[in-house]
Structure 1
Amino acid sequence: MYISGAEIVIACLKEQGVDTVFGYPGGAILNLYDALYKHSDEIRHILTSHEQGAAHAADGYARATGRPGVCFATSGPGATNLVTGIATAYMDSIPVVAITCNVGVSLLGKDSFQEIDIAGITMPITKHNYIVKDVTKLAETIRKAFCIAQTGRPGPVLVDIPKDITAEKTDYKPAKIESIVPIPEDISEKEIEKAVSMINKSRRPYIFVGGGAVLSGADKELMEFVNKSDAPVTDTLMGKGAFPGTDKRYTGMLGMHGTKTSNYGVSGCDLLIVVGARFSDRVTGNTKKFAKNAKILQFDVDEAEMNKNVIITEGVTGDIKEVLKKVNEKLKQQSHPEWMNKIQEYKRKYPLQYHESVLSGPFIVEEIYRQTKGDALIVTEVGQHQMWAAQYYQYTKPRTLITSGGLGTMGYGLGAALGAKTGCPEKLVVNIAGDGCFRMNMNEIATAVRYQIPVIQVVVNNHVLGMVRQWQDLFYEKRYSSTVIEDAVDFVKLAEAMGAEGIRVTTREEFEKAFTRALELNRPIVIDCQIDSDEKVWPMVAPGAAISDVFDESDMKQE
């Protein structure tokens, strides 16, 4: 076929099985949108309210489905508006392919109208990126982009195409795209033997699960491994759902806002088995005091993560699913009754607690869990509400918590919720936001209404930047510098102005009724939940402290 560069891009997307693209058109990308118009019955385009919303939607689509998310943007400010979304995907290892179009090849490097070196800008926050200056190399480049985004440790790839390349024509030959699968033979048998030996010798093992277990689809293998190891399980924010939060071995999240059980347990174990986690500072606290009594065994697809933040004893490099398969084959049944009893005692002694007489963040999350029966895709923004969503919703399946972990992107959730619902239309999708986060990308409510994407937007509205204020309260002598949001913004009227339903609630009973109504409506809705400004996330570890120094409200009252 002799077709244009723009038509080649669309043909390559169809090869990859892409069914949805999120984006925003502009002058430099017009040829691509013109080609997309001719294939609108095969590839759905969602016009977001802002390019950042498109990047987050592509990210949410990828997290929910496991398939690469795709977003389009034009040159200059259109491309730069994708940057935060690309960085968010990069930090959490999410496969996103961002396609931008630039000024013509002859205009590059001349400060032309809406010209920007988007490849240079995104180099540190992509797995790889390209600028295609030869139309004959375009199809090959698009195919490479999708392969790189999904191979090994996933991540975003950007392809920048000058406008004249989208207009030029060349011969195009369709290609059959093979499924990308991990190669078990790449895993060292010697490393597996060492890992099994360490587990056999351990008397107090603890399994620490991260996002890698979710990305590799290793939940079944992980369950077998946990049962064989007879060990308690903790996780990161990104690892939620890889191991069921309802299982008796599960002890809650680890780290700054982890449970006392997990923090004390990891601090007292003799072997920490790390399954697809990268030792974020929010998990480890003071690295010199982290799991200081334990040997550390790490499983990760990315060898660069070994000994990066925490010095480990041994590591196995490979896809988590394949590593666990090999370990499970060789590992004999373990039994640690004394250790497991001690952990269960911790769980009984240190449960999560909150004030049950008023409308609060934890209550809102627990009520969402009760009414959805734990069978929803929960999306969050970043802050206190994010931690409550991690603590109080029990995730039993992978890819059911969609949140910005590494970058901590405020404004992420609503766009991601639209992407998740588009990719999984049969799933109930709830985005939980703080009022500060909601303001950042609340314009995407208009997108939800335009396409009738029935997401439930819950705003935990404390009229402050909650997590920052919490730090100011605890560590800055209550100097609330620029964290109090005192204005007349009405989220209910805002929702109605954009064509959505809006409900304000101030009590637990009102929220119960409002969320029930949201489930019945099956259309975009915003529930504005008024809670106290001084509500805090407990437990907590102070910055720079050991995770064993975890404290909560009851500890502060005893001081």
Structure 2
Amino acid sequence: MTHRRRRVSARAPFSGVSVYDVQPQHQPHAPAAAEDPGPAPRTRRGCDALVDALVAGGVTTLFGVPGDTGVALYDALYERADDIRHILARDERHAASMADAYARSGNRVGVVEVSSGGGTTYVVGGLGEAYAAGVPVLLITSDIHAASRGTGALTEIDQVALFSAVTKWTRVAESADDLPELVARALREAVSGRPAPVALIVPENVLDAPTRARPAPDAAAPALPARRPGAPAAAVAEAARLLSRARRPAVLAGSGVHVSGAWRSLEELAATVGAAVATSIHGKGAVGGDCPWSVGVVGNNGALPGANALLREADTVLLVGTRANATDTNSWTGPARGGVPVIQIDIDPGRAGRNFPGAIALPGDADTVLRQLLAEVIPVDDSERALRLTAVRAAAQTPAPAARPVEPAPGDGPRLLPDEVVRVVCAGLPAGTPVIADPGTPTPNVAAYWKQREAGREVIVPRGHGPMGYAIPAAVGVAMARPGTPLVSFTADGSFAMACGELETVSRLEVPVLFVQFTNHSLGWIKMLQHLYSGRRYFGVDPGTIDAVAVARACGVEAHTVGSTAELQERVADFAERPRPVYLDVEVPHMIDYTPPVPAWDRGPAGNAERPVY
């Protein structure tokens, strides 16, 4: 009896089985012959050791794009398709964004694979965001044959130098025997200390080389965080004394709270000392919207006025798991440098207090250090707590400045307001729905108006570098981390043009994503900067229009143009009832006509031509 392979439909949802199944094919009766011993056992190669090590390390999903130097790796992946799923992206940068979002949503290492040359140079863009945002991503890249180094071979590039700015650890595998230990080390490094991308470079001769190396028997998926160190006792005691004496304490929380899972400890500390809790964009959800001490996002992108004012007027500020850069602190005004006592918890000792000289540095795991503080602080009395809570609720409810009225130009079609769009989508989907937002119009509106009731990382916005084109591929990563969970991805026409090819990936995988595109026919953020700070001299910001609905349909995604709030509500309700890939294109006003919640821009129309410090 012989066998043939039958390919399963590419649109079939993944069920944990190989993309191939084996079925018998009966041959016509023939005279008996000597039994065929079959093919000789194949020599175990470096590529097999590499894939086995990934499986042993707990990797179940791999995002990538094939190339010449990685053919052997794909052959090994074929043999382990039951154990590790390969997600074919249409671009290496997008594959990195998928791995990034997968890591954030699942709080685990995301893995991306590319080949030498163009694959490596393309993937750097995606790794830059992950590096700046503290996201654990393992990059595996194949390379040219070691014998071709220095010959000007096709795709040759110094990969170690190339990745030096976007990884915290990079190694070249020079022997197939080293691969199991190198993979295990790479996974550990990605989650140790401040999470960040790491890279393992494997020349094609190493992928092909014979080896008997296998993963260690105790190989296991590394936890995130890898360790939970506490802060020095003396520093904790000093910080607790300041928090206990403060009359207007406040907390600024970032993504480190999510990585550590410190949500409950943070809320308990806030209630104990009577402190308002604000978040950076990356930290959105560090406390739930139902937490009475929450004032929402602060800073210079997506903050409402009351939240920024509360941080600005605080007399002691605790920073937890945040870079606390200029954007997060509204150009160093909340808190002000040198103005009030600042305490900073950060897993990286080099970052604790970096942006606030004189701050009390509490290096350590966010949850561990918060628990240390809880053991030391003196609880505020009930009457004072009630007064502070009233002030916090007033700050949280301070409305945004009134936007300038939108006057439709002759010939304009219907336009919806971006904040209204976010509110409608949020109201129409179940609580806990994951949401992704691209830079530009989506970021400040999602940061300010998407209401999240429970604590946790539900909102993903790329604010490490703010790369356009992130939200469409990132939706694939979130969908793989949370299989079967419907999610929403806010993008804009500029970002769509950079990433629309991944809509085919969305269609192929049939992931349940509702895409909402804000269309204003320009590179709106940069045009707004030119409007405010360059004398309204617009240059290089008005590309032609692309029919997003037609492109999405061509990729196999259901798509509609939405022209009214009522229609948007109907489309969202339909998606909620029957989750599937859906793309909605919504015409919105330009930022020039309807300013988003970006505090510095509120001052621009009044004549303040000074650009904010980022």
**Shift, 1:476, TM fit:** 2.2
Do residues 284 (structure 1) and 329 (structure 2) align? yes
Residue 254 and residue 158 in structure 1: after superposition, are their counterparts in 2 closer, same or farther (change >3 A)? same
**Shift, 1:361, TM fit:** 0.9
**Shift, 1:248, TM fit:** 2.7
Candidates 269, 293, 313, aligned match of 2:359: 313
**Shift, 1:76, TM fit:** 0.5
**Shift, 1:80, TM fit:** 1.2
Contact 2:532 2:604 in 1 (8 A): no
Q: SS of the residue aligned with 2:165?
A: helix
Candidates 314, 317, 320, aligned match of 1:275: 320
Do residues 403 (structure 1) and 486 (structure 2) align? no
Residue 245 and residue 186 in structure 1: after superposition, are their counterparts in 2 closer, same or farther (change >3 A)? closer
Q: Which position in structure 1 is the counterpart of 2:498? A: 440
1:218-249 per-position Cα deviation (integer Å, ceiling 9, x unaligned): 11111111111211111101001111123332
Q: SS of the residue aligned with 2:536?
A: coil
CA distance in structure 2 between the partners assigned to 1:62 and 1:301 by the alignment: 18
Per residue, is there more helix in 1 or in 2? 1
1:354-408 per-position Cα deviation (integer Å, ceiling 9, x unaligned): 6899611111111111011332110111112111011100223322111211111
Gap regions ≥5 residues in structure 2:
1-41, 407-414, 609-614
Q: Which amino acid aligns with 2:353?
A: N
Do residues 223 (structure 1) and 276 (structure 2) align? no
Alignment of 1:76-95 (within 5 A): 76-95=117-136
CA distance in structure 1 between the partners assigned to 2:177 and 2:63 by the alignment: 26
CA distance in structure 2 between the partners assigned to 1:325 and 1:144 by the alignment: 30
Q: Which position in structure 2 is the counterpart of 1:108? A: 149
Residue 554 and residue 525 in structure 1: after superposition, are their counterparts in 2 closer, same or farther (change >3 A)? farther
Contact 1:97 1:157 in 2 (8 A): yes
Q: Which amino acid aligns with 2:47?
A: A
Candidates 508, 513, 516, aligned match of 1:450: 508
Candidates 346, 364, 368, aligned match of 2:395: 346
Q: Which amino acid aligns with 1:47?
A: L
* Identity %, equivalent residues: 27
Q: Whose radius of gyration is greater, 1 or 2?
A: 2
Gap regions ≥5 residues in structure 1:
544-549
Q: Which amino acid aligns with 1:341?
A: T
Q: SS of the residue aligned with 1:42?
A: coil
**Shift, 1:426, TM fit:** 3.2
Candidates 113, 126, 129, aligned match of 2:167: 126
CA distance in structure 1 between the partners assigned to 2:593 and 2:210 by the alignment: 60
Q: Which position in structure 2 is the counterpart of 1:160? A: 201
Candidates 577, 580, 585, aligned match of 1:528: 585
**Shift, 1:518, TM fit:** 2.8
**Shift, 1:64, TM fit:** 0.6
Contact 2:343 2:359 in 1 (8 A): yes
Residue 141 and residue 244 in structure 1: after superposition, are their counterparts in 2 closer, same or farther (change >3 A)? same
**Shift, 1:11, TM fit:** 0.5
Q: Which position in structure 2 is the counterpart of 1:506? A: 563
**Shift, 1:288, TM fit:** 7.6
CA distance in structure 1 between the partners assigned to 2:534 and 2:229 by the alignment: 53
Do residues 190 (structure 1) and 234 (structure 2) align? yes
TM-score, length-normalised on structure 1? Answer: 0.93
Q: Which position in structure 2 is the counterpart of 1:67? A: 108
Residue 555 and residue 505 in structure 1: after superposition, are their counterparts in 2 closer, same or farther (change >3 A)? farther
Residue 454 and residue 343 in structure 1: after superposition, are their counterparts in 2 closer, same or farther (change >3 A)? closer
Worse overlay, 69-78 or 131-140: 131-140
Contact 2:353 2:360 in 1 (8 A): no
Do residues 254 (structure 1) and 298 (structure 2) align? yes
Worse overlay, 356-365 or 472-481: 356-365
Q: Which amino acid aligns with 1:96?
A: V
**Shift, 1:46, TM fit:** 0.9
Residue 411 and residue 253 in structure 1: after superposition, are their counterparts in 2 closer, same or farther (change >3 A)? same
Q: Which position in structure 1 is the counterpart of 2:611? A: none
CA distance in structure 2 between the partners assigned to 1:537 and 1:37 by the alignment: 51
CA distance in structure 2 between the partners assigned to 1:537 and 1:333 by the alignment: 41
Candidates 491, 496, 500, aligned match of 2:553: 496
Q: Which amino acid aligns with 1:287?
A: W
Residue 446 and residue 434 in structure 1: after superposition, are their counterparts in 2 closer, same or farther (change >3 A)? same
**Shift, 1:519, TM fit:** 2.8
Q: How many residues align?
A: 549
Candidates 60, 66, 69, aligned match of 1:28: 69
CA distance in structure 1 between the partners assigned to 2:544 and 2:176 by the alignment: 54
Residue 459 and residue 288 in structure 1: after superposition, are their counterparts in 2 closer, same or farther (change >3 A)? closer
Do residues 265 (structure 1) and 310 (structure 2) align? yes
CA distance in structure 2 between the partners assigned to 1:29 and 1:347 by the alignment: 53
Residue 191 and residue 290 in structure 1: after superposition, are their counterparts in 2 closer, same or farther (change >3 A)? closer
TM-score, length-normalised on structure 2? Answer: 0.85
Residue 112 and residue 531 in structure 1: after superposition, are their counterparts in 2 closer, same or farther (change >3 A)? same
Do residues 376 (structure 1) and 433 (structure 2) align? yes
CA distance in structure 1 between the partners assigned to 2:135 and 2:305 by the alignment: 30
- Alignment RMSD: 2.3
Residue 304 and residue 378 in structure 1: after superposition, are their counterparts in 2 closer, same or farther (change >3 A)? same
Contact 1:2 1:172 in 2 (8 A): no
Residue 552 and residue 328 in structure 1: after superposition, are their counterparts in 2 closer, same or farther (change >3 A)? farther
Q: Which amino acid aligns with 1:380?
A: A
Residue 538 and residue 497 in structure 1: after superposition, are their counterparts in 2 closer, same or farther (change >3 A)? closer
Q: Which position in structure 2 is the counterpart of 1:303? A: 349
Do residues 177 (structure 1) and 234 (structure 2) align? no
Q: Which position in structure 1 is the counterpart of 2:409? A: none
Q: Which position in structure 1 is the counterpart of 2:249? A: 205
Q: Which amino acid aligns with 2:320?
A: V
Q: SS of the residue aligned with 1:129?
A: strand
**Shift, 1:32, TM fit:** 0.4
Q: SS of the residue aligned with 2:153?
A: coil
Q: Which amino acid aligns with 2:251?
A: I
**Shift, 1:414, TM fit:** 1.0
